Structure 1
Amino acid sequence: MPLLFNSTAPTQVAPTRASRPRSAAALLPYSGPALIAVLSLGMLVRVFHFAYDRSFFIDEIYLNVNFVGRSFWQLATEPLLYEQKAPLGYLWTVKLFAVLFGPGQQALRLFSLLSSLAALLVLVPVARHFLRPWGVVAAVALLAASDSCIYHALEAKQYAVELLATLLALWLYIRYQPVPSRRGQLQWGLFGALLVWFSFPVIFVLAGMAVALGCAALLRRDWPQVRAYVLPFSCWLLSFGLQYALYISKFPQSAWLMDFFDQQYDAFMPWSPTALLPWLAHKTYMLTQHPLGLMPHKEDSEFLLFSPWRYVVKLGWLHLGFLLAGAALLLRANRLKFFVLTLPIALMLVASGLGVYPVFERFTQFLAPALMLMAAYGLDRFLYAFTPRFRAAPLVLLVFFAPPFYNTAAQALNPARFKNREYNREVIMYANAHYQPGDVVYLFWNMRHVYEYYQGAYGLRFTPVKGSNVKNESRNAAEFMQKLQPDLTRLQGARRVWFVYDFVNRDPIGDYANQPAWYHEDAFKPTQPLEAYFAQHGRRTDFFQLGPHTASLYEMRRSGPSAGSKP
């Protein structure tokens, strides 16, 4: 009777010179230079975008405003502003960079960049454990060119660190699992325990690894191995329990945030069989977009938005086919390694079904290494099996890699295509550069966080009138403007008034999505009544807009705006 975990069977046996397909043998000497090329490309692209230093995205500002003026102790013991969550190891490392280099954007992105560069290097020995030489090249190429991985490498949030933590957990498994000594098992346990403080979801990786290895040893009745595993697994569990008790439990997830992911992104796995299968099919397909980053960009396929051909052109079926084929072939070749890679996915799904972990884009980034290894395994087997007999095989590989490399090239040539491109910095700095003594700057409520970060990090010349968020206490547009009158009263007597706003963002952190309903009607634009109000009492003399971020300058009449005036 075959064992559930065939841990003794090798993943693959290198073909002998006589049996190796001729074309694969001919290409094998080039795998080393190809590996260096894709590594260099991945690093170069990341460094380029780091140097380009695009403006912070809204979510980056929400988190990184906490590094301006907060101490290490406050980061560990007080709730983060704007209800943000991040592992303590990440927070303290970024805070250290802020202390050393200042709280500017690049300093706060440096940890993510270094983690992404390290991930490219760590993937090489990890991939060599699962794949043959050209499979290693394929896996590294996927990581190097993945636009989602590149994006998170240049995002001042923790997701690039989480990807690196997964790779380090796999590398530790490769390095220490065969080592029977107590010292080796202790080192494995301590290093794994440290990873938990830098990545929340790495516990899925470690727990999945523990289940796979523990079950394999139990089924073999290898009791010495079972006893050896107790030490590292206990270290991981103790570290997670300590972090949960001292840190995570103090800052539970907010109900509005769970509702947001549920209502907006269907991010929690349903248990009903009729709903489960479509949900799993959709989420599995979307993995090719995030975290794998293999699909063409939206702007390159919008012409097929309402056509069924969009699924063909996006090539998700091809990428998903190689991924699923690779998983099936790995299961057949080595069940232990298959379960080491896939059980973390299963545990994440269980957590999602329990409503504690949303399956949504950035929260799946930690799965990228396992998914890329399985996709590369499928590519590896395809290359060695079909290249000698199927002349179109290189064309299939070219089509597979075309979207991610095209996306990467397009973003490098035109950084405006970069995901989540926003212009918060450009607009707030424009107002700052053109500000004159005596000017009054009125910040709509949805730009307050922008001012707070850039004032603390770079210093701004003005102290604004911060607009109140009165949407939840208003029943209609007229009442909304009426409740803003105290804000407008503070502008009286000003000769020049700057109005700085974002005309897209309607929901502040902490509010349930799309509430109140009248405020989110398409016909109502929250900033238009204020623009009309300023136009009634003055003349617009300057206007700067990039994306939805806007700065308008009004020369006010001598009487200035009055509290009782209506647009």
Structure 2
Amino acid sequence: MPYWPVAGALVAVGAGLRVWHWAYGRGLWGDELYVAHNLRERGFVDLLYPLAYSQSAPPGWLWLERFALAVSGPGEQSLRLVPLLFGLALLPLVAYLGYRLLPKVAALAALLLVAVSPFLISYSNQVKQYSAEAFWVTLLVGVGILVHRSAHRLRYLVFWGAATAGATMSALAIPVSAVLATILVVGLVVDRAAGAARWREMARFAVPAPLWLGVVAAVYVWNLRPTRNDTALRDYWLRKQVYPYRDLTDLPATFDWLHSTYKSLAVVPFALWAPALFLVLLVVGAVVCWRRSGWLTVAMLLTPLAIGLGAGALGQYPMTERLALYCVPSCLLLSAFAVSPPTGQIVLGWSRLTAGAALVGVVLVPQVVTDIRAAADPQRAYKQGGGANLADYRGALRYLSEQWREGDLVLATPVSWNGQSYYGPPADGYVRLAEAGACPGETASGLLSGRSRVWVFQATDWDEDDNAEINARLGQGGALSERSFVGARVVRVDLTDGAAAGAGLCLVSPPRSAAVR
């Protein structure tokens, strides 16, 4: 079977799926909007400081995004160009690594699974760094394996150069680089054939490391440490019960956490209908890889997954959903060893090949089905969690802009500010329910006084109970009507009694950048 023509066709399919969603230009949803606000409000230097709104992204990736915004403006396709390019670059990278590491059939199986992976496609089209994480981690794993196999005199410089560049573009590239370097050193130590020369090899390997250490120290101080100290983020992940809920010495609780974690990873980001397949493919692939390529290759391909699980067990990294996307390509490369052509007994070998192909087929079918549905309706593509990532505030805000007339009052709820202030029109104020019947500052009554028509923009992916109560209280002062959109609602109130409508509603200061009219 000719490898590169088939691989080229698979790369084209994967690229086409990614470009299709990018060209569609879905509206920015909540997390994307938080990043977009930071990019629009800050220059290159300011992006080195901790981001607002409990967001975090590598400085190099932020600079690329800021450059795209400066060149092409704050539109959806401009902001998603960098994630798209990393998503596209991953495809030929996997094709090359598969060619170097795997038999042809297995390499094509890995490339196929990466090409049609629903969440690799999805996050190649979101203003988040996860496609860059997947690319850089996969690149580093591949470079580590190839450096071990190579005798080129510049191989160590290549490894540390890739690790240094990756540290600026991917937070996960830092621990992955450290573990890969440790594995390479262990490989030199246990390599008896190297003899006394192995110590010279270790010295040569260590010479470029200080540059990487310097960049990592700077990234940690300016970028990673503030994120680790963000209490809002930590509380959020604790509420989602991502970390072990008891001490690791409680073995039943620890096994329960591992079981729930692997099941959640099988669904997102691996997109498997049967979670057991995730473990079966990984174990079978690891066994075959060990026999064909040795322990070091297995260790390096498992490094991203092991780091995520270890950091999750220690409560340091939320190994879940999109934050685990970085380990998908390396795990798929390892799993592809399950369909390696037979090398031993003919009957046993072909039985293994057939079983492995069946497993890959079972994995492939639901992913292709998901891709077809997503391509047919990109707006509803790849729903996660409660579906917040499906929201498109543009329709609601466009409608509000068209209906607004001079003298109308525009209000928004605090959780709606990111969409409202990014797409407009400007709000006259932000309102929330009074706590214990009182407002710490100004009430909404004064702002409503003398108005005949009020508009309220509400994001409906959060705080729907509060939204309903706000609408009920506004309706006390006049006739209320609602119009729903994808992830948003526009409420119109024709006031007859502004004081009654404002009862129990507080005016609150908008977040930074959400200036009122």
Task: Tell me the TM-score range normalised by the shorter chain.
Answer: 0.7 to 0.9
2:513 corresponding residue in structure 1: none
Within the candidate set 462, 472, 480, 1:505 is matched to: 462
2:22 corresponding residue in structure 1: 50
Tell me how far apart the structure 1 counterparts of residues 103 and 155 of structure 2 sit (CA, whole Å).
27
Question: Contact 1:207/1:344 (CA < 8 Å) preserved in 2?
Answer: no
1:230 corresponding residue in structure 2: 206
Mapping 1:527-538, distance limit 5 Å: 527-538=467-478
Within the candidate set 395, 415, 418, 2:378 is matched to: 415
| Mapped pair 1:332 → 2:291 | yes
| Mapped pair 1:440 → 2:409 | yes
Question: Contact 1:538/1:554 (CA < 8 Å) preserved in 2?
Answer: yes
Change (3 A) 1:139 1:443: same
| Mapped pair 1:170 → 2:148 | no
Question: Contact 2:412/2:427 (CA < 8 Å) preserved in 1?
Answer: yes
1:239 corresponding residue in structure 2: 215
What's the offset of the Cα at 1:174?
4.8
Question: Contact 2:83/2:128 (CA < 8 Å) preserved in 1?
Answer: yes
Amino acid at match of 2:399: Y
Mapping 1:148-297, distance limit 5 Å: 148-174=119-145, 176-178=147-149, 180=151, 183-220=154-191, 221=195, 222-268=198-244, 270-272=247-249, 273-293=251-271, 295=272
Tell me how far apart the structure 1 counterparts of residues 503 and 145 of structure 2 sit (CA, whole Å).
71
1:200-255 Cα offsets, whole Å, 9 max, x none, are 01112212211111111112252222122112444333321232134433554322
Question: Contact 1:126/1:171 (CA < 8 Å) preserved in 2?
Answer: yes
Change (3 A) 1:200 1:396: closer
What's the offset of the Cα at 1:563?
7.0
Tell me how far apart the structure 2 counterparts of residues 564 and 142 of structure 1 sit (CA, whole Å).
55
What's the offset of the Cα at 1:118?
0.4
1:436-463 Cα offsets, whole Å, 9 max, x none, are 2222111011111212222xxxxx4x43
What's the offset of the Cα at 1:548?
4.1
Mapping 1:128-139, distance limit 5 Å: 128-139=99-110
Question: Contact 2:443/2:502 (CA < 8 Å) preserved in 1?
Answer: no
What's the offset of the Cα at 1:397?
4.2
What's the offset of the Cα at 1:59?
0.9
Where 1:54 maps in the other structure, the secondary structure is coil
What's the offset of the Cα at 1:536?
2.6
1:300 corresponding residue in structure 2: none
1:345 corresponding residue in structure 2: 305
1:100 corresponding residue in structure 2: 71
Tell me how far apart the structure 2 counterparts of residues 465 and 382 of structure 1 sit (CA, whole Å).
70
Amino acid at match of 2:303: L
Q: Give the unaligned 5+ runs of structure 1.
A: 1-27, 296-313, 455-459, 507-523
Where 2:390 maps in the other structure, the secondary structure is coil
1:306 corresponding residue in structure 2: none
1:400 corresponding residue in structure 2: 363
| Cα RMSD after superposing both structures | 2.8
Amino acid at match of 2:430: G
Tell me how far apart the structure 1 counterparts of residues 347 and 138 of structure 2 sit (CA, whole Å).
28
Query: How many pairs were matched up?
Result: 488
1:69 corresponding residue in structure 2: 41
What's the offset of the Cα at 1:130?
2.2
Tell me how far apart the structure 2 counterparts of residues 291 and 246 of structure 1 sit (CA, whole Å).
29
Bigger drift between 359-368 and 192-201 goes to 359-368
**Higher-RCO chain (CA-CA 8 Å, sequence separation at least 6):** 1
Tell me how far apart the structure 1 counterparts of residues 348 and 19 of structure 2 sit (CA, whole Å).
37
What's the offset of the Cα at 1:486?
1.2
Using the size of structure 2 for normalisation, the TM-score is 0.86
Where 2:327 maps in the other structure, the secondary structure is helix
Change (3 A) 1:562 1:546: same
Amino acid at match of 1:445: P
Question: Contact 2:416/2:458 (CA < 8 Å) preserved in 1?
Answer: yes
Where 1:86 maps in the other structure, the secondary structure is coil
Question: Contact 1:163/1:367 (CA < 8 Å) preserved in 2?
Answer: yes
Question: Contact 1:322/1:379 (CA < 8 Å) preserved in 2?
Answer: no
2:9 corresponding residue in structure 1: 37
| Mapped pair 1:491 → 2:410 | no
What's the offset of the Cα at 1:83?
1.8
1:310 corresponding residue in structure 2: none
Amino acid at match of 1:279: W
Tell me how far apart the structure 1 counterparts of residues 348 and 128 of structure 2 sit (CA, whole Å).
42
1:307-365 Cα offsets, whole Å, 9 max, x none, are xxxxxxx2222343122210122233311101111234333333333322121212211
Where 2:41 maps in the other structure, the secondary structure is coil
Question: Contact 1:485/1:564 (CA < 8 Å) preserved in 2?
Answer: no
Using the size of structure 1 for normalisation, the TM-score is 0.79
Mapping 1:420-435, distance limit 5 Å: 420-435=389-404
Amino acid at match of 2:262: T
Change (3 A) 1:563 1:43: closer
Question: Contact 1:126/1:174 (CA < 8 Å) preserved in 2?
Answer: no
Where 1:235 maps in the other structure, the secondary structure is helix
Amino acid at match of 1:138: A
1:358 corresponding residue in structure 2: 318
Amino acid at match of 1:274: P
Change (3 A) 1:284 1:235: farther
Q: Give the unaligned 5+ runs of structure 2.
A: 384-388, 506-517
Mapping 1:286-325, distance limit 5 Å: 286-293=264-271, 295=272, 314-325=273-284
1:255-301 Cα offsets, whole Å, 9 max, x none, are 232122123132358512222222222222332222322x2xxxxxx
1:546 corresponding residue in structure 2: 485
Question: Contact 2:130/2:326 (CA < 8 Å) preserved in 1?
Answer: yes
What's the offset of the Cα at 1:106?
1.3
Amino acid at match of 1:346: A
Change (3 A) 1:74 1:388: closer
Tell me how far apart the structure 1 counterparts of residues 46 and 334 of structure 2 sit (CA, whole Å).
42
What's the offset of the Cα at 1:182?
5.5
Amino acid at match of 2:221: A
Question: Contact 2:109/2:360 (CA < 8 Å) preserved in 1?
Answer: no
Question: Contact 2:56/2:223 (CA < 8 Å) preserved in 1?
Answer: no
